[in-house]
Structure 1
Amino acid sequence: MFGIYLKRELSRRKKATLVIAMGLALGIALVITVTSVSAGMQQAQGRVLKSLYGLGTDMTVTKARPASTSSSSGRPKFDFDAKSDSGTTQSSDRVMTQGGQSLKSSLVTRVAAQKGVSSAVGALSLNVTKVDGSFTRGTAKSSTSSGSSGAQQGGPGGGSGGGSGQPQVQGGGASFDVNSYSVAGVDVTHQDLGPLATSKITTGRTFTAAQTDAKVAVLSASYAKENKKTVGGTLTISGTKYTVIGIATPDSSESTTDVYLPLKQAQTLGDAKDEVTTIYVEAADSQQISSVKSTIQKNISGTTVTTSADLADTVSGSLSTASDLATSVGKWLSVAVLVAAFLVAALLTSSAVSRRVREFGTLKALGWPSRRVTRQVVGESVVNGLLGGVLGIALGLGAAYAVTAISPKLTAELGSTGGGGTGGGPGGGGPGRQAVKNTMEIALSAPVSVTTIVLAAGLAIAGGLVAGAMGGWRASRMRPADALRSVA
């Protein structure tokens, strides 16, 4: 009886049912869209941080570089020898550590032994500035003026008229090209953590555990393309030739490192034997990162521990702006629209009950108790809510799919978190570069999780119950006399 009556009443008032369902559907669709876009923002920010930190990295340990003195500014200096051959090409590489003050390699073992640390790997960040070009000698020419030979031979103060002119250099000059790129020393025995962990070898191969001090290199795809390097070719740094064994493509965005070398080779290049600039740390429990950070700072003084949350605070650009809008304005707007939809559904249901005075009064006169009338109204409202939920989920999924299909590009700028550079990772601030910004482009997606769908279904049922509660309360207060009065 309940189901038959429910179906008949919903079919008889299709327009009112559709209006209530659509109101709830719009609110639910907005909630799904904002929630999925927010999840996409978090994923995008995670990809940005992972591109700097490395897969599985929860924090980095660095040491801030002390302020440079007047006698040691840390600026590159190049010396070229004078050569007799005009136009001879000369080249010089200046290799400098970057990202912060060097740390002893033994510190990696100390960090790994701290409570809550799963693993720790050291890396050395270098910046290579290459200057090459040539000098062209000029020609010295003297100009003479007419005059007596005696005047030309006169001593100081003599022969005021005429004499030999000062030699003038004509032609000559210098033409040099300056190229700067970043190098990361990788612990080849633990490549799953560190600067190379965020990239995938697309051509060639990666390092083997036996190549701890081999003259081999892996290049980023962008650097290899720009400099026309291929697997099997060579790369010369400070006179040392390295064989290119692989090309690495970053999992997301652009790589901040151009060349990867075995750690020992990077230490030799940078004159930093048994030293690293960054220690990548993976926590045993991702929920205890803050306590692990405090433990490291307490037991290893003088170091700067930067977590992914700290680095996230430095992200700016359109990604940060859109994330703030989705988190604050978007969620509050969703709540406001959802509340408005619930109220509209409740008011429409209550209004519909008012127009059914004769019907409910007659049912009570026939013996229906108030709870049965209330149950009937609530049942109709819950069905309206479920219908609105189905429509809302469909609209929300459509909106999320549209965002993913369009994939709008967002930019993310990561600034330095301190003297140690950008999280202490490769590409961070070096001497004279205290506030480096890395700009990356991220394609936004809007993933919809099962949790979001369950939330939408719950909101649909809640909306139906709210509307049904108000309508049922009004229906329960009706008396059979009201029906007889309306008939008269």
Structure 2
Amino acid sequence: MFGIYLKRELGRRKKAALVIALGLALGIALVITVDSVSAGMAQAQDKVLKSLYGLGTDMTVTKARTAPAAGGSGGRDFSFDAKSGGSSTQSSDRVTTQGGQTLKSALVTEIAGEKGVASAVGALSLNVTKVDGSFTQGTAKSSGGGSTGGPGGGTGSTGRPQVQGGGANFDVNSYSVVGVDVVHQSLGPLSAMKITSGRTFTSAQTGAKAAVVSASYAKEKKYKIGSTFKVSGTKVTVIGVATPDSGESDTDVFVPLKVAQTLGGAKNQVTTVYVKATDSQRISAVKKAITADIPGTTVTTSADLASTVSGSLSTASDLATSVGTWLSVAVLAAAFLVAALLTSSAVSRRVREFGTLKALGWPSRNVTRQVVGESMVNGLIGGALGIALGVGAAWAVTAISPKLTAQLGSTGGAGGMGGGPGGGGPGQQASRNTMEIALSAPVSLTTIALAVGLAVTGGLIAGAMGGWRASRMRPADALRSVS
């Protein structure tokens, strides 16, 4: 009886039922869209952090670079030995550590032994500046036209000599090199890279003169597997080409840690320690412990790094989490209120119907159940429509894949923000690290479950108000409504 009556009444009031269902559907669709976009923002931010931080890295440990001593110079110098006669080809490499002051390699083991630390590896970031070209010696001539044979020649017969011709032509090539722990590559800068050609290092290649180069650097220098080049006089062989998981790589060349330490004259030293915690809930405690046990170091967590992300990604994320959330709540509340009012209004127009049913012996609970049942069906229909609209909107966002930019800046703390794959440490490198991320809007089962819950809630709220009003009707109301 209940089912037959329910079906008949919904069929008679198709327009009213559709209006209530559509109101709920729009609110639920907006909630799904905002939730999915927010999830896409979180994924985009994770990609940004992984590309700089390294997959699985919870925090990094660095040390601020000390200021140069009084009278000292922090500039770069190059020494050449220009030879007399003709032109002379010159080449000089300057290899410097970057990303802060170096740390002793023994600290990696000390940090790995801290309570709450699952693993820790060290990396050494270097900057290589290569200057090569040639000097061409000029010729000294007197004002009378007689050649003196060189800048140190005689004065000739009529006047003071003048140097003519000569000069220098040099190319400057600067690139970054990062020494990685080849035994533990799942943590650290190389973990954020995907090998697209060749292979990565084996655990036995701790001292091998081999290199994995970024795809962009390989294209620029036309390197391929088996190509060789020199770094400060040391010949290395390209064994692999890697592409970052997202964005652009700030590192041009990866070499084994021991090789990098030799190139940089930094034996048993690292610039960055990458740390993975045993539990995400213990990251804060581990940070405090490392800071207390190893004075002078700067410990930067992924949360610290996330707070420095700016650009359109940050703006869109703020809109999705604040404006979008409040807009969803407001629209959903309005949809629930409209559904409740329409249901209550529909009940007021059914005075004769409900009054007659009570006169025939229907108890109030049956009348209430009838109204709540109709509202629940409207809510479920609205939920189905809302899920369809919300999933469709999320799919459209994913299909369009709007591009968002993310810029990583310094936290402003001493020592920067830990070492990123760029080798300079985000304190130096991140300020110029801009990435472009494609936004997606994944819809999870949790979001679908939330939509179903909202549909049921909307139906219950509307049914509760309408049922309460219907239960208060008396058979006499039906008789008075008869004209």
TM-score of the superposed pair, with normalisation by structure 2: 0.94
Whichever residue aligns with residue 199 of structure 1, its letter is: M
Cα deviation, residue 431, structure 1: 13
| 1:314-353 paired onto structure 2 within 5 Å | 314-353=308-347
Q: Within 5 Å, which residues of 2 pair with 1:193-342?
A: 193-342=187-336
Same amino acid, percent of matched pairs: 79
* 1:369-423 deviations in Å (ceiling 9; x for gaps): 1111111111101110100000000111111111111111111111123443443
Structure 1 residues 433 and 304, CA, compared in 2 at 3 Å: closer, same or farther? Answer: closer
Q: Decide which of 419, 424, 427 is 2:419's aligned counterpart.
A: 424
Contact 1:30-1:396 within 8 A present in 2 as well? yes
The one-letter code matched in structure 1 to 2:140 is A
Aligned partners of 2:429 and 2:37: how far apart in 1?
Answer: 34
Asked if 1:31 is matched to 2:36, the reply is no
Contact kept? 2:365, 2:471, Cα under 8 Å: yes
Residue in 2 that maps onto 1:444: 439
Residue 291 of structure 1 aligns to a residue in which SS? helix
Tell me how far apart the structure 1 counterparts of residues 259 and 344 of structure 2 sit (CA, whole Å).
78
| Alignment-derived partner of residue 477 in structure 1 | 472
- Mean CA deviation greater in 392-401 or 89-98: 89-98
Question: Any idea what SS the aligned residue of 2:191 has?
Answer: coil
- For 1:295, the aligned partner's letter is A
* SS of equivalent residue, structure 1 residue 236: strand
Q: CA deviation at 1:167?
A: 3.0
Measure how far apart 1:290 and its partner are. 0.8
Contact 1:184 1:261 in 2 (8 A): yes
Question: Counterparts of 1:141-160 in structure 2 under 5 Å?
Answer: 141-144=141-144
Distance in 2 (alpha carbons) for counterparts of 1:10 and 1:73: 86
**What secondary structure is seen at the aligned counterpart in 2 of 1:28?**
helix
Extract structure 1 runs of 4+ deviating beyond 4 A. Answer: 428-435
Give the distance between the partners of 1:264 and 1:96, measured in 2 at CA: 15
Once the two structures are overlaid, the 10-residue window that deviates more, 70-79 or 258-267, is 70-79
* 1:458 maps to 2:453: yes
Aligned equivalents of 2:94 and 2:266: distance in 1?
14
Matches within 5 A, 1:109-148: 109-144=109-144
- Structure 1 match to 2:9: 9
The amino acid that maps onto 1:68 is: P
CA distance in 1 between counterparts of 2:341 and 2:213 reads: 66
Return closer, same or farther for 1:476/1:432 CA change in 2, 3 Å cut-off: closer
Q: Distance in 1 between matches of 2:79 and 2:235?
A: 21
Deviations 1:428-461 (A, max 9, x none): 5479958732111111111111111000100010
C-alpha deviation, 1:263, in angstroms: 0.4
Contact 1:422 1:428 in 2 (8 A): no
- Paired positions, count: 471
Q: Distance in 2 between matches of 1:5 and 1:436?
A: 68
Which one-letter code corresponds to 1:137 in the other structure? Q
Cα deviation code 1:112-161 (max 9, x no counterpart): 0000111110110111111122223333333249xxxxxxxxxxxxxxxx
In structure 2, the CA distance between the partners of 1:73 and 1:311, relative to structure 1 (3 Å rule), is farther
Partner of residue 45, structure 1: 45
Does structure 1 residue 368 correspond to structure 2 residue 362? yes
CA distance in 2, matches of 1:53, 1:332: 32
Letter in 2 for 1:352: A
Distance in 2 (alpha carbons) for counterparts of 1:333 and 1:316: 23
- In structure 2, distance between residues paired with 1:398 and 1:239: 59
Alignment equivalent of 1:400, drawn from 391, 394, 404: 394
CA shift for structure 1 position 304: 1.0
- The residue identity in structure 2 corresponding to 1:454 is A
Quick check: 2:82–2:88 contact (8 Å CA) kept in 1?
Answer: no
* Pairing 1:374-385 to 2, within 5 Å after superposition: 374-385=368-379
Aligned to 1:97: 97
Maintained 8 Å contact 2:410/2:426: no
Contact preservation (8 Å) 1:74, 1:431? no
Structure-2 separation of matches of 1:204 and 1:76: 35
Amino acid at match of 1:473: W
SS in 1 for 2:207: coil
Change (3 A) 1:294 1:422: closer
Let me know the Cα RMSD of the aligned residues.
Answer: 1.8
CA distance in 2, matches of 1:434, 1:258: 13
| Counterpart for residue 154 of structure 2 | none
CA drift of 1:426 comes to 3.2
Which residue does the alignment assign to 2:66? 66
Could you tell me which residue of structure 2 aligns to residue 150 of structure 1? none
